[in-house]
């Protein structure tokens, strides 16, 4: 029994379609996990010293973002610093490393790694080189050094927002500069042991 040319081509086409389907499903799964479950990020700079170092890779759980949950005090979060504009699903899709690689787009420095200091309704003050939340000084053993920042201003965190700061308070671009972070701009949480 001989195979005709048509039989060979049918087998090749089936094989190619089988592989294409597997690759397509894998690609969709990678995107789904990256958008909704977890994603790697790289620390860029020294604002989280000594807790996290420059260039350190971290993985964050995106379930907080996916289910619109408020992070806890002290959580290390990745935030989208573009707080002056709303986020869309297109943002989450286009920010995936695989999509950026395919598109050949360079990463903008819009994602910051910070720590949650205040949540909705909290009143924050910066006096005596310490942070006060609702009149109580925070115990912050993770800080690199004494914070030099002081302010007479009282910061009241609005509903649906958080206030974040870096652990290296003297070298951190955070809510003191960019303002309160909308919860939909909290991309995910890194839980430390």
CA-atom Rg of the chain in angstroms: 23
The pLDDT > 70 percentage for the chain reads 94
Catalytic one of 62, 114, 144, 190:
114
User: What is the three-class DSSP state of 11?
Assistant: helix
Catalytic residue check, 114: yes
pTM, 2 dp: 0.82
HEC assignment per residue over 24-87? HHHHHHHHHHHHHCEEEEECCCCCCCCCCCCCCEEEEECHHHHCCCCCCCCCEEEEECCCCCCC
Mean pLDDT calculated for residue range 43-56: 92
Choice among 74-83, 107-116, 139-148, 157-166 with the minimum mean pLDDT: 107-116
Catalytic residue check, 26: no
* Calpha distance 36→176 (Å, rounded): 29
Predicted pLDDT of residue 107: 61
Predicted pLDDT of residue 109: 72
The model's confidence at residue 31, banded by pLDDT at 50, 70 and 90, is confident
Predicted pLDDT of residue 193: 47
* Calpha distance 114→163 (Å, rounded): 10
The model's confidence at residue 180, banded by pLDDT at 50, 70 and 90, is very high
Catalytic one of 47, 92, 172, 175:
47
The winner for highest mean pLDDT among 14-18, 91-95, 163-167 is 163-167
């Amino acid at each position: 029994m001989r195979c005709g040319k048509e039989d060979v081509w049918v087998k090749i086409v089936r094989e190619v379609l089988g592989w294409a389907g597997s690759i397509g499903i894998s690609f969709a799964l990678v995107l789904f996990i990256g958008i909704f479950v977890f994603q790697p990020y790289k620390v860029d700079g020294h604002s989280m010293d000594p807790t996290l170092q420059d260039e350190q890779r971290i993985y964050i759980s995106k379930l907080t973002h996916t289910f619109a949950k408020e992070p806890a005090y002290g959580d290390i979060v990745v935030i989208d610093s573009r707080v002056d504009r709303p986020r869309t699903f297109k943002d989450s899709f286009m920010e995936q490393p695989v999509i950026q690689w395919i598109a050949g787009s360079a990463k903008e420095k819009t994602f910051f790694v910070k720590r949650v200091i205040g949540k909705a309704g909290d009143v924050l003050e910066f006096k005596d080189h310490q942070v006060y939340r609702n009149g109580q000084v925070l115990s912050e053993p993770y800080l690199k050094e004494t914070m030099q920042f002081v302010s007479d201003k009282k910061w009241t965190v609005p509903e649906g927002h958080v206030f974040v700061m870096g652990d290296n308070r003297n070298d951190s671009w955070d809510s003191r500069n960019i303002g309160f972070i909308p919860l939909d701009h909290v991309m995910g949480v890194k839980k430390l042991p």
